[in-house]
Structures are given as structure tokens and as C-alpha cells.
């Protein structure tokens, strides 16, 4: 499951830096509807004051969502200290996700 599965990118903070511009009402957006249907909608709000148009905000949202999806395929292994395992030993990991 990829979380967050819905990214909103707030763009164009304005000259005053207070995010009072109309752009705040139309954020860049990317979502994975399959993941939302599987679990529920988990939104991540990202502020990007340097972005000046909605197309770039959508591109940033797509890139962030793609990164989240790719991180699901990666993994980390934390194992207790075992002196029998050495640096170049081969270990086998069985992933319950079936990936």
C-alpha cells in the first residue's frame, strides 16, 4: 500500500509570502485511485512557493506520487546482530507481499 496516495502541491505563494493568492484554491494534484479504493484517501500537502503555474504544480505532484510508489517496491531489512553473518554473505528474504 502506497501512503500517501493523494498529493496536493500548493503553488505561487505570492509576493507577500502569505499564500493569499487565488492559486491556493487550485493546487497541483496527483492521486492513485486504485490505492485510494484499496484503503482510503491519505492526502499529503506540499508547499512549493517557487512554482509559478498549475502545470508545474501538477508535474511536481506526479513526481512525488511516483516516488512514493517506487518506495513501496523497495524495502529495508532490520535484523538483530548476528556475528555469523558477514558483509558479503548472501541472504534470502521472502517477501509476504509476493512482489
pLDDT one-digit tens code per residue, 9-58: 998 887 777 776 666 678 899 999 999 998 899 999 999 888 888 999 99
Expressed as residue numbers, the domain containing 49 is: 1-99
* Cα–Cα distance, 41 to 3 (Å, whole number): 9
Taken in order 31, 35, 36, 40, the sign of the CA dihedral is negative
pTM: 0.70
Instruction: Please count the structural domains in the chain.
Output: 1
Amino acid at each position: 500500500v502506497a501512503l500517501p496516495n493523494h498529493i496536493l502541491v500548493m503553488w505561487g505563494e505570492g509576493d507577500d509570502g502569505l499564500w493569499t493568492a487565488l492559486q491556493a484554491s487550485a493546487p497541483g494534484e496527483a492521486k492513485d485511485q486504485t490505492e485510494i479504493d484499496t484503503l482510503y484517501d491519505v492526502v499529503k500537502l506540499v508547499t512549493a512557493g517557487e512554482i509559478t503555474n498549475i502545470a508545474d504544480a501538477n508535474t511536481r505532484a506526479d513526481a512525488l506520487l511516483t516516488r512514493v510508489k517506487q518506495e513501496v517496491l523497495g524495502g529495508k531489512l532490520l535484523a538483530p546482530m548476528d556475528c555469523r553473518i558477514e558483509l558479503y554473505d548472501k541472504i534470502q528474504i521472502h517477501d509476504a507481499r509476493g512482489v
